[in-house]
Structure 1
Amino acid sequence: MRITLVLLFFFCFFQISAQEKKAWDWLEPADTFHSKRFKLLSIGGGAAYAVTSVGLYSIWYKDYELGRFRFFNDKFGNNDEWAKVDKAGHVVTAYAESYLAFRGMRWAGVRHKPAVWIGAGVGTILQGTVEVMDGFSAGWGFSKMDLLANTIGVSVFTVQELLWEDQRMMIKVSNTRPSYPNTLIQGNKGGNPLSVRQIAQGLYGNNYLEAFIKDYNGMTVWASINPSSFFKLSENSRFPRWLNIAVGYGADGIYGAYGNVYTNSTDSYNLTSIPREKEYYISFDMDLRRIRTRSPLLRTIFQGLSFVKIPGPTLEMSSLGKPKFHFFHW
């Protein structure tokens, strides 16, 4: 992922021929309503919704029994669920879904304000589906706090677009899976010991796709602000319009929802000796959408990647330790 982003960054500065540009002109937003594009998005979006719902069920819910719809109390507090990182994940997911749906509608030539409300509606429906799945799952329940986080994500997109017709603050995500140790933890019932790495895999999955969605120890959610968008810069200004300042939130040492006790089908494992740590970050970032390029293909790629935090120098402040500086952090 890092190499891909760096290559895209440098490639965008190369000149492209008029013939190459013309070949990708169809990626540009339509000036007026384009019925074929709208139908394509509607059919494709419906199919993607179905496939994603099935995939999400396979990754997240299939190992839990279904039951009657119920509510789940995970209110904020000193021992709140997953150190609030799951709530931050809901915010960025709802934001990204709303933004991408909006860009799709603009590509189909839908006028700005209707496209904004369609984007907000898509983000609300997609996240609402997850909440309903939670409501019928024996492992969770319908969470009002999740609903609030979803609403925040959709609202951050909607308010900015209605106010400025621009996203001056992007909600972004980054995720690098930690290197979990092989330290053995003895089962409380006398069962076979498991390593911390095995426990993390049991909680968050074995592959990177699962970990990107579920591993709260590796996830950071960012509010990435573009300073230049708040000022009228002249054409001759050398201030980089793509430069952002980002503040992030993450956690480490999280091996359970409310405490570090891991339970599987045969035993439970006490990891309370591992401290649960909240992490705060400030970093440089890039708003790829503001990089000037003549390539419609690159502009489209940059739009799609605009909610992914770009690696860069980062100052980390922890709830448990001293500040740390990372020359290259994702």
Structure 2
Amino acid sequence: MQKKLLLLTLVLLLCYRSNAQKPGPFFSIPDTTSPRNIWILSGTALALYGSSLAALNSAWYKGYPHEKFHFFNDMEEWLQMDKAGHVFSAYMIGKYSRELWRWSGLPRKKQVWIGGLSGFAYQSVIEVLDGYSSKWGFSWGDMGANALGSSLLISQELLWNEQRIQLKFSAYPRTYSDPVLREKATELFGNTFMERVLKDYNSQTYWVSVNIHSFARNSKWPAWLNVAVGYGAKGMFGGRDNYWTDTHGIERDFSNIRRTRQFYLSPDLDFTRIKTHKKGVKVLFQVLNMIKVPAPALEINGAGEVKVHALMF
């Protein structure tokens, strides 16, 4: 499901880029509320969300039988990496939706609430669809993660009028040498590069990137230099364990592979703090700011190991 949410985030980014780069008063941010712009934004948002949800309902759930609405507790799955994905997706969708709503001319607080809640609202509908699928179910854990992502965005906008603490994403697709694990990884995570980036939880890291300068404006700390704390995991070939029956009916037991949490500390860049007068560059920096830049990192993991990575991505 996370793949679809990240794709919607990219669509919102493209919409933001399109509106931000076109000159002229029609695309300028108005000083007062513009009913015309509100109607355009509302219609665009409804069309975007509605069409993507309709496509999701017909494509993502195709092949899985429907049943009565039911709940599913998945809090113990994937070492909570999927929950980190929900937090990130709600945050990013809300962030760029909020940027689009600047164009409405509405009072700032209304822009923040409307844009910021977009990610939560969109993912809530997806959770309802999950509730009718035999493959999944309505997850209160996912809903909590969605709310956390939206809350992080909204609270900072209302408190500081900026995002001092940002969520970021990075991934380095893993290869699996064992033929059995390679087959399982293809079944779970897909076979293409982008599928592995978006679906393989063993390859992903989610980051909380803090802008130190925004908390200490009188210091000499560079405004563009952040400190990021990351969370990842490895050794997962199933939601709860590494035991399964393959397509040939053979039982596979890889319980010897430890499912390990990983925590990182690394420097990061806040591209939006780099000064430029070019609108195109500003939009590019907004896009780049959702990705954690490769940098040295200190790792402490659940196996009790401490590692230093010359370059972590």
Shorter-chain TM-score bucket reads 0.7 to 0.9
**How much has 1:290 moved relative to structure 2?**
1.0
Structure 1 residue 245 corresponds to structure 2 residue 241: no
Structure 2 counterpart of 1:245, one-letter code:
V
Structure 1 residue 116 corresponds to structure 2 residue 86: no
- Structure ranking higher in helix proportion: 2
- Structure 1: runs of 5+ lacking an equivalent: 1-20, 185-194
3-state SS, counterpart of residue 217 of structure 1 = helix
Distance 1:144 1:47 in 2: 27
Q: Which residue of 75, 78, 84 maps to 1:82?
A: 78
**How much has 1:146 moved relative to structure 2?**
0.9
Distance 2:109 2:220 in 1: 33
Mapping for residues 179-194 of structure 1, pairs under 5 Å: 179-181=175-177, 183-184=178-179
Structure 1 residue 202 corresponds to structure 2 residue 187: yes
Distance 2:204 2:21 in 1: 39
1:49-98 Cα distance to aligned partner (Å, 9 max, x none):
234335545774334222111001234xxxx2110101111111111111
Q: 1:163 to 1:306 in 2, by over 3 A?
A: same
Structure 1 residue 226 corresponds to structure 2 residue 211: yes
Q: Which residue of 132, 138, 142 maps to 2:138?
A: 142
Identical positions, percent? 38
Distance 2:119 2:298 in 1: 32
3-state SS, counterpart of residue 191 of structure 2 = coil
TM-score (norm 1): 0.81
Paired position in structure 2 for 1:13: none
Structure 1 residue 259 corresponds to structure 2 residue 259: no
**How much has 1:43 moved relative to structure 2?**
2.9
Q: 1:107 to 1:298 in 2, by over 3 A?
A: farther
Structure 1 residue 216 corresponds to structure 2 residue 201: yes
3-state SS, counterpart of residue 117 of structure 2 = helix
Report the number of matched residues. Answer: 292
Q: 1:25 to 1:220 in 2, by over 3 A?
A: farther
Q: Which residue of 246, 255, 275 maps to 1:292?
A: 275
Q: Check whether the contact 2:209–2:226 (CA below 8 A) recurs between aligned residues.
A: yes
Distance 2:275 2:266 in 1: 22
Q: Check whether the contact 1:317–1:323 (CA below 8 A) recurs between aligned residues.
A: yes
Q: Which residue of 258, 280, 293 maps to 2:263?
A: 280
Distance 2:21 2:169 in 1: 33
Q: 1:115 to 1:263 in 2, by over 3 A?
A: farther
Distance 1:120 1:266 in 2: 47
1:288-313 Cα distance to aligned partner (Å, 9 max, x none):
11111011111122223322212211
Q: 1:245 to 1:55 in 2, by over 3 A?
A: farther
Structure 1 residue 320 corresponds to structure 2 residue 303: yes
Q: 1:160 to 1:271 in 2, by over 3 A?
A: same
Structure 1 residue 169 corresponds to structure 2 residue 165: yes
- Structure 2: runs of 5+ lacking an equivalent: 1-19
Distance 2:61 2:145 in 1: 20
Q: Check whether the contact 1:28–1:296 (CA below 8 A) recurs between aligned residues.
A: no
Mapping for residues 27-46 of structure 1, pairs under 5 Å: 29-46=29-46
Structure 1 residue 155 corresponds to structure 2 residue 151: yes
3-state SS, counterpart of residue 154 of structure 1 = helix
